[in-house]
Amino acid sequence: MRNCFVLLLSICLLNTGQSFAQEQRVSPLSVASSRYKDTYIKVVYSQPQKKGRQIFGKLVPYNEVWRTGANEATELTVTTDITFGGNELKAGTYSIFTIPKEKVWTIVVNADLGLWGSYNYNPKRDVIRFDVPIEETEDVAEAFTVNIDPNNNRANLIMRWDKTKVSVPILYPEPKPKP
């Protein structure tokens, strides 16, 4: 009888653990990627939801460093050197932070990785920083979304949430001819 009880308890605990492991995050993890010849770009981010809230200037305050999504800081990986927002960016993996303002966003590419949010953001680790204008859209993006829109050796990294859209221009290098 005791063995049956222990077996039943073990099965219940095992099933409970599995059900917790399968719960979805409130802000699901997402990936945007693009390839041009020898260059691969990947953005890993979490997607917070609007849920009827006022986003920019309220939930995401103006003039403050934002993790650019939810949960962990958004990460950008590039496999070759590129031009990102008019700035040279070496191949590697970086955190992306933004500072939303009413008319522009400051895009911050930072060398620190594995950060939760922007709590431990260190501006001394910034690799590049630049401003891009915002575009107000007619349609509402319920979830924060990142896309990479390719066009030959150029692309735009597009971030959308609510009625706000930001585009960061990317210029891919042409591969060097092999001898």
Tens digit of pLDDT for each residue in 118-161? 888 999 999 999 999 999 999 999 999 999 999 989 999 999 99
pLDDT in tens, 2-35: 555 544 545 555 555 554 555 676 788 889 999 9
In a domain, 75, yes or no: yes
Residue 16: inside a domain: no
Residue 93 lies in a domain: yes
Q: Is the distance from CB of 166 to CB of 158 less than 8 angstroms?
A: yes
What's the rounded Cα separation, in Å, for the pair 27 and 45?
A: 9
Give domain status of residue 67, yes or no: yes
How many domains are there within the chain?
Answer: 1
**Does the residue 162 lie in any domain?**
yes
Q: How far apart are CA 144 and CA 163, in angstroms?
A: 10
In a domain, 15, yes or no: no
pTM listed for this prediction: 0.83
Nearest to residue 68, comparing CAs of 49, 87, 96, 94?
A: 96
Model confidence pLDDT, tens digit, residues 68-103: 999 999 999 999 999 999 999 999 999 999 999 999
- Tell me, yes or no, whether 14 lies in a domain: no
Q: Please check whether residue 8 lies inside any domain of the structure.
A: no
**Structural domain of residue 156, as residue ranges?**
26-171
